[in-house]
Amino acid sequence: MHNIMKNIRYSNLSFFYSLSLFLIIILSAFQVKSQEDGTPLQIDITGGKIQPMPIAISFFSTKGEINENIKTLTKEIPDLIANNLVNSGFFKLLDRQAYMQKPEALVNRPKFRDWRIIDAQTLIFGIISKKPQDKISVSVQMWDVYGERRMLGITLSIKARSWRRIAHIISDKVYERLTGETGYFDTRIVYVSETGDQKNKVKRLAIMDQDGANHKFLTDGKSLVLTPRFSPNQQLITFFAYRNLKSGLKPSVYIYELSTGKIDILGEFEGMSFAPRFSPDGKKLVMSLAQNGSTNIHLMDLKTRNLKQLTRGRSIDTSPSFSPNGKKIVFNSDRSGGRHLYIMSNRGKDIKRISFGRGSYATPVWSPRGDYIAFTKFTRGRFYIGLMRPDGTAERLIAEGYLAEGPTWAPGGRVLSFFRQTPKDDETFKTRIYVIDITGNREREIITPEDASDPAWSPKYNVRNN
């Protein structure tokens, strides 16, 4: 009995030996095969084409009960989205006449082959339906045509009359998904509206959507308003103004509360305060203070209203602007003769000159993306809007004019706005706000009812008080 068991055990063992030997032989055969394949071919691809992405934005379709208004929105909403996206310089809208699939047919699932024929890389379409209380609901889908997968699906509802807001929010979502950057379409621009002749200018604070729609005046024109700036929470606007107070005409920095319309003077200083700008956290305000013949940069804590002097000396230091992380401040100064740009820490230390070109530099603004500083440059009798890296390299000019000034960044740091004055035939001037992207392409004017200067772009997600 014991013997038999032993035999079985041995036979089992030899079975395992042979089996493992067999498997090792088979696997070594594979090894040879895989060695034959060798390491895969490795190729670096460094070319490619840089060009706007071709997108298809179909007219929207409707669901359920509809009315005339909704019917027009099936065209107006996609048109506004297309307009936003194309103006960003990232996208090219494909001609709708070439679309083979009708909006109604898209609802189930797009026929990707039809869209590949016109080389649409991305397809956007939507459905509008009527909701109670004058509301509409808009569902939008975005598809990757070559990858045949859905990239975005959102449904929003809003009062029908605020349809532009929905189109802007959708534009932001699409833009953010396709570029990886912060959208800037659902934002507003505050600026100085100018009326009257050169001598008796009335300057009022006004606000509008970034595309010029929903225009509104904020101040009455009794005080002369300059350099408005948004706070990071979009609720406050700071500006410099000569105001008619009982005590007389007082030039100073003020704060305007958007939701209430309340205007507050920012401290009583000896001398004149101007060129205010918020810190990225919105808790501090950096500005220039002219006292006893010298102009220095000061930092004010908005809660305690404590003032801290950052720069010293007899030179004129002005136009301070924080870096997006709040650690540095760029400003302009005449400390070395001509007007140039300088960078310092947020405590006023480590001052370093960054601009070295010909001409004078002014109004530096740090991009929200952190990679550029926009500025105004005056050289050989012309004004330019330019960009440079924060270390002063890669300077380039993207716009010019008889008078071009006051760059302001849109959220995301890819697009900026500025104003330009152009002489007219009758020896008066036309002053308008323009928008341009950092590549220097696609400059366009924003339509305003009167002359417009000193634009300031709001941060994202503003709160509306209609």
Q: Examine residue 114 and tell whether it contacts another protein (CB under 8 A).
A: no
Q: Examine residue 198 and tell whether it contacts another protein (CB under 8 A).
A: no
Q: Examine residue 381 and tell whether it contacts another protein (CB under 8 A).
A: no
Q: Examine residue 19 and tell whether it contacts another protein (CB under 8 A).
A: yes
Among positions 6, 18, 22, 23, the unique one binding another protein when judged by CB under 8 A: 23
Q: Examine residue 324 and tell whether it contacts another protein (CB under 8 A).
A: no
Tokens found for residue 418: 């500025």
> CA angle at residue 166 from 163 to 167, to 5 degrees?
90
**Which residues are registered as beta bridge partners of 429?**
423
Span from 174-182, 283-291, 322-330, 335-343 in contact with another protein (CB under 8 A): 174-182
Among positions 1, 3, 30, 466, the unique one binding another protein when judged by CB under 8 A: 30
Among positions 76, 114, 334, 371, the unique one binding another protein when judged by CB under 8 A: 371
Q: Where are the beta strands (DSSP E) in 185-293?
A: 188-195, 202-209, 216-217, 224-230, 236-245, 248-257, 263-265, 272-278, 284-291
Return the closest-CA partner of residue 318 out of 360, 363, 356.
Answer: 363
Residues 49-78 that bind another protein (CB under 8 A): 49-53
Tell me how far, at minimum, the Cβ of 366 lies from another protein, in Å.
Answer: 16
Among positions 24, 100, 245, 447, the unique one binding another protein when judged by CB under 8 A: 24
Among positions 6, 72, 104, 147, the unique one binding another protein when judged by CB under 8 A: 147
Residues 271-290 that bind another protein (CB under 8 A): none
Residue 293, CA atoms < 13 Å, CB-side half-sphere: 1
Residues 331/363, Cβ–Cβ less than 8 Å: no
Of the pair 36, 197, the CB lying nearest another protein is at 36
Q: Examine residue 180 and tell whether it contacts another protein (CB under 8 A).
A: yes
**Three-class secondary structure of residue 363 per DSSP:** strand
Among positions 76, 114, 144, 395, the unique one binding another protein when judged by CB under 8 A: 144
Span from 40-48, 126-134, 358-366, 448-456 in contact with another protein (CB under 8 A): 40-48
C-alpha to C-alpha distance for 205 and 201, rounded to whole angstroms: 13
Residues 120/56, Cβ–Cβ less than 8 Å: yes
Tell me how far, at minimum, the Cβ of 280 lies from another protein, in Å.
Answer: 19
**Three-class secondary structure of residue 351 per DSSP:** coil
Residues 307/300, Cβ–Cβ less than 8 Å: yes
Q: Where are the beta strands (DSSP E) in 64-215?
A: 91-93, 122-131, 135-144, 149-159, 188-195, 202-209
Largest Cα–Cα distance in the chain?
124
Tell me how far, at minimum, the Cβ of 78 lies from another protein, in Å.
Answer: 20
Return the closest-CA partner of residue 377 out of 361, 397, 398.
Answer: 361
Residues 432-461 that bind another protein (CB under 8 A): 437-439, 441
Span from 15-23, 265-273, 306-314, 448-456 in contact with another protein (CB under 8 A): 15-23
Tokens found for residue 331: 């400003």
Q: Examine residue 373 and tell whether it contacts another protein (CB under 8 A).
A: no
CA end-to-end span of the chain, whole Å?
Answer: 99
At position 150, the amino acid (one-letter code) is R
Tell me how far, at minimum, the Cβ of 17 lies from another protein, in Å.
Answer: 8
Tell me how far, at minimum, the Cβ of 327 lies from another protein, in Å.
Answer: 20
Q: Examine residue 369 and tell whether it contacts another protein (CB under 8 A).
A: yes
Q: Number of residues in contact with another protein, rule: CB under 8 A?
A: 53
What x-and-dash track marks residues 387-416 binding another protein by CB under 8 A? ---------------------------x--
Tell me how far, at minimum, the Cβ of 177 lies from another protein, in Å.
Answer: 8
Return the closest-CA partner of residue 119 out of 52, 171, 56, 57.
Answer: 56
C-alpha to C-alpha distance for 338 and 193, rounded to whole angstroms: 31
Q: Examine residue 134 and tell whether it contacts another protein (CB under 8 A).
A: no
**Three-class secondary structure of residue 8 per DSSP:** helix
Binding residues (CB under 8 A) for another protein: these are: 9, 12-13, 16, 19-20, 23-24, 27, 30-31, 33-34, 36-38, 40-53, 89-91, 117-119, 121, 144, 146-147, 176-181, 369, 371, 414, 437-439, 441
